[in-house]
Amino acid sequence: MTAGHEGEKWGYPSWDERVDSPGHSHIDASTEKQSQVFEEKLNYRPRKTLRFKTLCEVFFASFKRRTSWLDPPARERHMSRSASMAPTRWLPRSMASRLYVIILCGLLLAEGLSAVMQFYERYESAMSVMLNTVEHDVGTSVAILDRLPAQERPNWLGRLQRDNYRYLLGAGQPGKPLVSERSLELTRRIVKELGPAYRVDADIVSTKPERYQLHFTLHDGSPLTLEMTPYVMPVALWLPVVLMLQLLLLLVCTWLAVRLATRPLTQLALAAESMTPTADGPRMSEEGPTEVAQAAIAFNTMQERIARHMKERLHILASISHDLQTPLTRMRLRAENLDEGEEQRKILSDLCEMEHLVREGVTYARSAYGGAETPMRVNVGAFLESLVFDYQDVGRPVTLSGTISGIAMVRQQALRRVLCNVIDNAIKYGGAAEVGASRNAQNALCITVSDRGPGIPDEELEQVLQPFYRLEASRNRDTGGTGLGLAIAVQLTRAIGGSFTLANRKNGGLVATVILS
């Protein structure tokens, strides 16, 4: 049975069919370009060897594209682009702040309108009371003053005075003719009440505040002036206190309402941030209002579907790795039976490269499940010393520049794999590695791996963390790199709840930092 039909025994399509089938029409331009380069350099090799290599890269590239949304920096870049594209508004960015602004503005507007209407109603009530009773009081008061002797009239002025008007023994002040409808109506009523026995002249002496006078002539020829000032009853001392307490109560109710309304969204955002391909993050509570419960159920269902999807892809990767072993082993046996020479050496080198690529690809897929390991209490200093001594025992140039004492809860095997990948990368491209540990301002564990290599251009520091990305200068396939070493370290670090960053050193070289909270 040939290699091209080996998969048919197990129910899988042949490798020729897998590569040439329409389902693989999504191969991007970069993959086609790599295939052309391989064709030109390896034109003497069997076509199936080329297809094995191309299939591996195409499948892993497809796996990367389909799972790139799980990359937190990618999500952050997408959110930052969305935020930068959004138009600038006067409203705050957060929903809670917007609700506070809208509700508080509405409450203040309602309170202000209520206060204005209340004062207006009190003013109108006072004017209505004055208009309904003042003509009778004035008629009685004028009659009393007219009958009193002139020397006793000053003693009665205080008794006849009211909040809205007072009497003056004299001609009063000169003024202007009345213009307001209220003053004219009041004057007509008083004239009607006094009758033709008294001559009444009216004028306004002040507009702010409104103050007008009515001039009478008593029967003995003495002038009498009635000075009227529309008066609003003073506000009770308890009323502002009640309004402030009412506003305070409304503010408390607003805070509770906004918090209850936005808390499910905050929980949803936290659950989305902590979501992992293995769906081992916290599930959202499916209790609460109908809309919130429906959103929580939909999110939990989506998380389960993602986990199933990732498990299926991992199973596919494992199956492909298993299926590739048989034809690769057979090709290795056939190559070893060839005459020793340059062609045999190149074919064996390509086979080793393909086997390494398959192993690295499967390792990258499985690295998303690094968080499944149970955390353990580990002495950080002893752990790093053991790791460095293991490298030194085999003659690798690795040193421990600084460490810390203390116990930390870490996933030891996953962290060791991360550091080994970074140290191997530093030795390969920097000649030596320097390991250190410290605590940052947030008391998080920071482990650094530094080298004195050529470094990486700043614009490519983020790209080298992506799967299958290689720098053209030195970190290419010819030097043995697959473009997965740092990607595996990054994904494993995120799987165990940490963060991974790269930065260039001032005097040359690169420093990789693993932060575990």
Q: Is the pLDDT of residue 349 over 80?
A: yes
For the chain, what percent of residues have pLDDT higher than 70? Answer: 73
Asked, as a colleague might, if the bond just before 209 is cis with ω within 30 of 0, I would say yes
Q: Is the pLDDT of residue 254 over 80?
A: yes
Q: Is the pLDDT of residue 193 over 60?
A: yes
- DSSP track, 23-46: GGTT--HHHHHHHHHHHHHSTTS-
Q: Comparing 13-27, 178-192, 313-327, which segment has the lowest mean pLDDT?
A: 13-27
Q: Is the pLDDT of residue 479 over 70?
A: no
Q: Is the pLDDT of residue 320 over 70?
A: yes
Q: What is the pLDDT of residue 4?
A: 41
pLDDT bin (cut points 50, 70, 90) of residue 370 is: low
Q: What is the pLDDT of residue 182?
A: 76
Q: What is the pLDDT of residue 19?
A: 39
> Tens of pLDDT along 19-49?
344 444 443 444 444 445 444 444 444 444 4
The whole-number average pLDDT for the span 109-127 is 78
Q: Is the pLDDT of residue 113 over 50?
A: yes
The domain spans of the chain are 28-77+274-368, 119-228, 371-517
pLDDT bin (cut points 50, 70, 90) of residue 475 is: very low
pLDDT bin (cut points 50, 70, 90) of residue 90 is: low
Q: Is the pLDDT of residue 143 over 70?
A: yes
Looking at the structure, give the CATH architecture of the domain made up of residues 371-517.
2-Layer Sandwich (3.30)
Q: Are strands 498-504 and 433-439 parallel, antiparallel or unpaired?
A: unpaired
Q: First-to-last CA distance in the chain? A: 54
Q: What is the pLDDT of residue 233?
A: 60
> Tens of pLDDT along 201-229?
888 888 777 788 888 888 888 888 888 88
> Tens of pLDDT along 52-67?
445 455 545 554 554 4
Q: Is the pLDDT of residue 441 over 60?
A: yes
Higher-pLDDT residue of 388, 76: 388
Provide the token pair at 112.
């202000």
Q: What is the pLDDT of residue 89?
A: 61
Q: Helix or strand or coil: residue 335?
A: helix
Q: What is the pLDDT of residue 231?
A: 63
For residue 497, which amino acid is it?
G
Q: Which residue has the tokens 């937190």?
A: 72
pLDDT bin (cut points 50, 70, 90) of residue 86 is: very low
For the chain, what percent of residues have pLDDT higher than 90? Answer: 5
Q: What is the pLDDT of residue 184?
A: 83
The whole-number average pLDDT for the span 118-124 is 75
Q: What is the pLDDT of residue 31?
A: 44
Helix (H) or strand (E) holding 115: helix 95-147
Q: What is the pLDDT of residue 266?
A: 82
Q: Is the pLDDT of residue 282 over 80?
A: no
Superfamily of the domain at 119-228: Sensor histidine kinase RisS, periplasmic domain (3.30.450.300)
Helices 290-336 and 342-367: angle between axes, nearest 10 degrees: 160
Q: What is the pLDDT of residue 398?
A: 92
Average pLDDT over the chain reads 75
- DSSP track, 49-114: HHHHHHHHHHHHHHHHHHHGGG-HHHHHHHHHHHHHHSPP-SS-SSHHHHHHHHHHHHHHHHHHHH
Q: Comparing 93-102, 156-165, 313-322, 326-335, which segment has the lowest mean pLDDT?
A: 313-322
Q: Are strands 510-516 and 445-450 parallel, antiparallel or unpaired?
A: antiparallel
Partners of 212 in beta bridges: 204, 228
Provide the token pair at 302.
């989506």
Give percent helix, percent strand, percent coil of the chain, each to the nearest 5. Answer: 60, 15, 25
The whole-number average pLDDT for the span 302-327 is 78
Q: Comparing 341-345, 355-359, 398-402, 407-411, which segment has the lowest mean pLDDT?
A: 355-359
pLDDT bin (cut points 50, 70, 90) of residue 237 is: confident
pLDDT bin (cut points 50, 70, 90) of residue 232 is: low
Q: Is the pLDDT of residue 292 over 70?
A: yes
Q: What is the pLDDT of residue 371?
A: 57
